[in-house]
Amino acid sequence: MTSLVPAHNPNTTGKPAGRIRQKNEEVIIAAAEQEFARHGFKGTSMNAIALRAGLPKANLHYYFSNKLRLYVAVLSNILDLWDSAFNALTVDDDPAEALARYIRAKLEFSRRQPLASRIFAMEVISGGQYLEKHFNQDYRTWFRSRAAVFEAWIAAGKMDPVDPMHLIFLLWSSTQHYADFSTQICKVTQSKRLTKDDFEVAARTLTHVILKGCGLTPPAED
């Protein structure tokens, strides 16, 4: 799914392009994340996003012709990041090192972009109406190719024979938990917010538990 596509072609309109365009899109996406995370898709207006972004409403409609297009861009942005991290896994990798890197990458997304993760979670919980185009046959084929990496590692005796599909679900859910349920975690730990140190402890813990469960030895830390 293509994300961050402007409503018009800047080459024919003379509107902002290059770095200015990228910066404006980033500002709009960040503002949209705040509004969608707080009010949901239905409760959010383009005017509210424009006010939060500090841009004229017309600027939003230049880059994103309507609210749905902007909402899909927010979802696509985080999905593209998550998927790109998973693309790095190959059958030639050392499973322990590859999984440890992936767990840390996913947790870093949860630390840096928690709102986008929560918006995605709310969308899925509500039925995923606006994700149907993303979760198509191409995505299912991509998912199977990721599972095939684990199957190859298992066949080669590099890791224990665990179900690849459910291992992927575990990797996704455990790392995204720290974004989607951070309020619960903070209530339990009596913290105002999760810190970088909290995510470091989470990374070490998840790496140890998941890799040991796969019959792998966690790689030595630097």
Please report, for the domain that includes residue 53, its CATH number: 1.10.10.60
Residue 97 located in a structural domain: yes
How many domains, in total, are found in the chain?
2
Q: Taking the model in full, what pTM does it have? A: 0.86
Q: pLDDT over 70 for what percent of the chain?
A: 92
Residue 134 located in a structural domain: yes
- pLDDT one-digit tens code per residue, 123-173: 999 999 999 888 999 999 999 999 999 999 999 999 999 999 999 999 999
Residue 14 located in a structural domain: yes
Residues 64 and 100 in one domain: no
Residue 21 domain boundaries: 10-69
Does residue 44 surpass a pLDDT of 80?
yes
Residues 98 and 204 in one domain: yes
More confident residue, 97 or 18: 97
Residue 32 located in a structural domain: yes
Does residue 64 surpass a pLDDT of 70?
yes
Q: Looking at residue 149, which CATH number applies to its domain?
A: 1.10.357.10
Residues 160 and 197 in one domain: yes
User: What is the mean pLDDT of the segment spanning 101-119?
Assistant: 96
Residue 79 located in a structural domain: no
Residues 113 and 31 in one domain: no
DSSP for the chain reads ---S--SS-HHHH----HHHHHHHHHHHHHHHHHHHHHHHHHH--HHHHHHHHTS-HHHHHHH-SSHHHHHHHHHHHHHHHHHHHHHT--TTS-HHHHHHHHHHHHHHHHHH-HHHHHHHHHHHHTT-GGGTTTSSHHHHHHHHHHHHHHHHHHHTTSS----HHHHHHHHHHHHHHHHHTHHHHHHHHT-SS--HHHHHHHHHHHHHHHHHHTT-PPPPP-
pLDDT score of 54: 94
Residues 149 and 176 in one domain: yes
pLDDT score of 72: 93
Residue 218 located in a structural domain: no
pLDDT band at 36 (very low <50, low <70, confident <90, very high): very high
Residue 58 located in a structural domain: yes
Mean pLDDT, all residues of the chain: 91
Residues 155 and 205 in one domain: yes
Residue 146 located in a structural domain: yes
